[in-house]
Amino acid sequence: MTTVPAPRRPPLRPRPRVVALSTAVSVAALLVLVAVGGVLDQPLLIPPLAASMALVAGAPELPLAQPRSVVGGQLLSALTGFAVLTVAGPGLWGAAVAGGLALGVMAVARTPHSPAAATAVIVALQDPPFPAFLGLLLLASVLLVALGLAGARAAGRPYPAYWF
C-alpha cells in the first residue's frame, strides 16, 4: 500500500504592512548600493546582491538570509570564482564550474546563500580585479545586512535568527 503525501499549500500571505516595509527596505537598500557605488566611482549593485536583498527583506527567517550566509556565502563564492578563473581562465565553461562549486563550498562552510552562486559565475566570466572586487562585495553585503536589520526592526520581524 502506497501513501500519498498531503497536498502542500503555498505560504500564507504576509500582512500588507510587512509587504510594504519589506519592499521599501529592499528598494532603499539597492538604492544605497547605487549611491555608495556612485561616491566610490565603482559599481556596488550586481544582480546577485538584488537577490540577496530579496531574501534578507522578504524571508528574514530563512538560513539563506542570515548575515553569516549573506556575507560569508558571497565572499566564499567570489573566492571560488577566482580559484576557477586561475585554473581555467575566463569563459562560460569555467563560469559553470564556478557556479556549481560555489554550492559545495558554501555547504561545507555552512553559509548557504543561493544568490552567491551567481557571484562565482560573474567572477569567472568577467575576471574583475581581485582585491577591489572582494572589498566592494564585502562592503555591499554588510550594507545589505545592516539595512535588512533596520527594516526588520521597523516591520516588527525578528532578524537575524543568528549572526555566526
Look-up of cell digits 571560488: 80
Q: Give yes or no for residue 16 having a pLDDT over 70.
A: yes
> Which residues are within 8 A (CB) of 149 and not within 5 positions of it... i.e. 6 or more apart?
159, 160
Type and span of the H or E element at 62: none
> Which residues are within 8 A (CB) of 24 and not within 5 positions of it... i.e. 6 or more apart?
151
Q: What is the pLDDT of residue 79?
A: 98
Q: Give yes or no for residue 11 having a pLDDT over 90.
A: no
Question: Rounded distance, CA 130 to CA 122, Å?
Answer: 12
Question: Rounded distance, CA 42 to CA 39, Å?
Answer: 8
Question: Rounded distance, CA 71 to CA 69, Å?
Answer: 6
Q: Give yes or no for residue 135 having a pLDDT over 80.
A: yes
pLDDT in tens, 98-114: 999 999 999 999 999 99
Per-chain mean pLDDT for the chain: 95
Residue 26, CB half-sphere, CA atoms under 13 Å: how many? 19
pLDDT in tens, 63-119: 999 999 999 999 999 999 999 999 999 999 999 999 999 999 999 999 999 999 999
